[in-house]
Amino acid sequence: MKILSKVNFVTPVQTQIKLVEDRMRAQADERHPDLRAALEHLLSAGGKRVRPTIVLLVGSMLGGDSERLVTLSAAVEMLHTATLVHDDLIDGALLRRGTPTLNARWSPAATVLTGDFVFARAAKLAAETESIPVMQHFAETLAIIVNGELTQMFSSRGIANRENYYQRIYAKTASLFETCAYTAALISNTDDETCELMRQFGYDIGMAFQIVDDILDFTSNEGTIGKPVGSDLLNGLITLPALYYIESHPDDPDVGELAEGGYADPQRVARLVDAVRASDSIRQARGEASRFVDKALAALAAFPAGNEREALIELAHYITDREL
């Protein structure tokens, strides 16, 4: 595996990322002090700002206006943050990236409303790009994300289904990555074909990103990912590594029990996690993530070499190589 520095891809947009964070922080100015404190808490929890980085790199590569790109970046990261606030509330998660979640410290009511406020600010920032199609894509992406979560909530647990898996990770992750790259191209006044290539790029790295997250749920240790190994399986969610394992081991009795509620049995799940890790399934899932990254790289090949394109190539590699 190629060894990569983990932050290199940020270099061309480091200054702008700082502006994006300032812009996000300013969204609760003149509001209730507790709301300002909540937003500060959410933003200080950080994360790698992968989504703003995509917006800024794609937009800069295409010669987009820096100030509008900063606005768009703040909008996508606020949208992402809002969905995390409601997700953590729904899951009852008390930690995210090692920092207490909002609902660990606030009432459910205040957490619902803070998420709503962050949605409102994401919408305001999107409107400030002054692009109708950006607004429309934003609204549609939020609908896709939420519909995906509702579908997951109402779906039977422990059922293995490849089509369902791809739909789920599109809604959960790839749809917003796609929107990042596509809307960055849109506001950079480029042609339709370029916008479409960037949409494809965003989609592919988004799909790869989530597949790798799902692999890490099997291969990491609890300290690294901040949740129990195999937590997806314990929740009855069959992700790609498990799907490969199930396809090649239909006679494993633990597999047969999954659809019957076997996922709720921690010992059974622990056995299955060990079996998946020992099998070829992890390598197969990595291969699938790599195929998405290869498609993303192919979309980039049409563009002339330059700092931003190189950084996007590095970003695509980072997505499959991180923490494996």
CB 243 within 8 A of CB 169: no
Examine residue 196 and tell whether it contacts a second copy (CB under 8 A): no
Q: Which of 26, 139, 278, 324 binds a second copy (CB under 8 A)?
A: 139
Residues found in the chain: 324
Q: In this complex, which beta carbon is closest to a second copy, that of residue 86 or of residue 268?
A: 86
DSSP string of 193-247, one letter each residue: HHHHHHHHHHHHHHHHHHHHHHHHHHHS-HHHHSS-TTHHHHTT---HHHHHHHH
Residue 104 belongs to what H/E stretch?
helix 102-105
- CA–CA dist 324, 96 (Å, integer): 20
Is residue 278 a contact residue for a second copy (CB under 8 A)? no
Name the minimum Å distance from CB 36 to a second copy: 10
In which element (H, E) is residue 132 found?
Answer: helix 132-154
Which residue in the set 11, 15, 26, 32 belongs to the binding site for a second copy (CB under 8 A)? Answer: 32
Local structure of residue 33 (DSSP, 8 states): H
Least distance from a second copy to the Cβ atom of residue 176, Å = 13
Question: Of 7, 94, 95, 146, which one interacts with a second copy (CB under 8 A)?
Answer: 146
**How far is 29 from 18, CA to CA, in rounded Å?**
18
Cβ distance to a second copy smaller for residue 76 or 272: 76
86 binds a second copy (CB under 8 A): yes
197 burial (CB, 10 Å; 0-12 / 13-18 / 19+) is: buried
Instruction: Determine which helix (DSSP H) or strand (DSSP E) holds 278, and give its type and residue range.
Output: helix 266-278
What is the smallest separation between the CB atom of 138 and a second copy, expressed in angstroms?
Answer: 7
Asked whether position 159 contacts a second copy by CB under 8 A, the answer is: no
Q: How far, in Å, CA of 120 to CA of 233, rounded?
A: 34
Which region, judged by CB under 8 A, interacts with a second copy, from 137-145, 177-185, 274-282, 310-318? 137-145
The interface with a second copy within residues 88-127 (CB under 8 A) comprises 89-90, 108-110, 112-117, 119-121, 123-124, 126-127
User: CB of residue 175 vs a second copy: minimum separation in angstroms?
Assistant: 12
Of the pair 39, 316, the CB lying nearest a second copy is at 39
Contact call for residue 35 and a second copy (CB under 8 A) = yes
Q: Which is nearer to a second copy, 60 or 73 (CB)?
A: 73
Q: Does 130 bind a second copy (CB under 8 A)?
A: yes
Which residues neighbour 180 within 8 Å (Cβ) at sequence distance 6 or greater? 51, 52, 54, 55, 58, 76, 202
Q: For binding to a second copy (CB under 8 A), which residues are involved?
A: 31-32, 34-35, 83, 86, 89-90, 108-110, 112-117, 119-121, 123-124, 126-128, 130, 132, 135-136, 138-140, 142-143, 146-147, 149-151, 153-154
